[in-house]
Amino acid sequence: MREWIAGLGSALLPQVCVLCHAASGDELLCRACASELPIAAAGCPRCAATSGGSSLCGACLSDPPFYDATHAAFDYRFPVDALIQALKYGGQLTLASLFAQALRERIGASAGVNLIVPLPLHPRRLAERGFNQAAEIAKPLARKLAKSLDVRLGQRIRDTAAQTGLPWRGRTSNVRHAFTCERSLGGLNIAVVDDVMTTGATLNEFARALKDAGAGRVENWVVARTTRDV
């Protein structure tokens, strides 16, 4: 019945592309805009930085992060950047399912994790925005992969300045000790979902908290990875 109602709604209210507003059937993007999405190339398997190959980059070799792997669906550039901003700041929550599907295709159906967790927001930031964009992406992704989801695992205990306004070197100190996890994780393999990864400082600090709580492995599953300083 739900599928029939959804189909009837699509017939009565044709979908238009969220980018160019052309007819897109029952999809959020028309075929032309979907073909322009910047699929992330293979990079460093640990941080997903473009390194000219699929081997570990110099930064991960010299100073290994607490997380063990990173999977990114897209490069953070147009039109993906506009779509992420529309979700994050425009409240277009329907885009979360599009991002979840892109991550599912990137990761594959046999993802070897026990638990999916969204990167936490500080309570004040959550109250201001009204939702956690990482959680909105993680929910449909967990359903697609048939994996357990815990949207409350870990807390952001420091309300830090926005990372986007800081130089790269200042981002690590800005988020230091920003997270805690009070649950014993007992060797679980955990995937942390977020929208954008730039330096990876925030995700690394959360991975530190998860490892301190006993996680055996932590992977980052991000919609987009920056390819330059932004």
Same domain, 19 and 124: no
Same domain, 210 and 177: yes
Same domain, 24 and 57: no
Residue 126 is predicted with a pLDDT of 93
Same domain, 89 and 141: yes
Same domain, 142 and 207: yes
Residue 16 in any domain: the answer is yes
Strand partners, 71: 221
Domain that includes residue 198, residue range: 44-225
Same domain, 27 and 118: no
Question: How do 155-156 and 179-180 pair as beta strands?
Answer: antiparallel
Crossing angle (nearest 10°) for helices 95-107 and 80-88:
130
Residue 121 in any domain: the answer is yes
Same domain, 91 and 177: yes
pLDDT in tens, 72-129: 999 999 999 999 999 999 999 999 999 999 999 999 865 789 999 999 999 999 999 9
Residue 55 is predicted with a pLDDT of 86
Same domain, 111 and 159: yes
Helix, strand and coil in the chain, % to nearest 5: 35, 20, 45
Cα radius of gyration (the chain): 18
Same domain, 115 and 138: yes
d(CA 97, CA 143): 11
80 burial via Cβ count (<10 Å: 0-12, 13-18, 19+): buried
Residue 79 is predicted with a pLDDT of 94
Same domain, 165 and 201: yes
Q: What is the CATH number of the domain that holds 81?
A: 3.40.50.2020
Look-up of token digits 């460093």: 44
Cα dihedral sign for 41, 46, 52, 55?
negative
Same domain, 17 and 90: no
pTM over 0.75: yes
Same domain, 23 and 66: no
pLDDT < 50 stretches in the chain:
1-12, 163, 170, 229-230
Cα dihedral sign for 79, 80, 81, 82?
positive
Structural domains counted in the chain? 2
Residue 230 in any domain: the answer is no
Residue 137 is predicted with a pLDDT of 98
d(CA 52, CA 89): 33
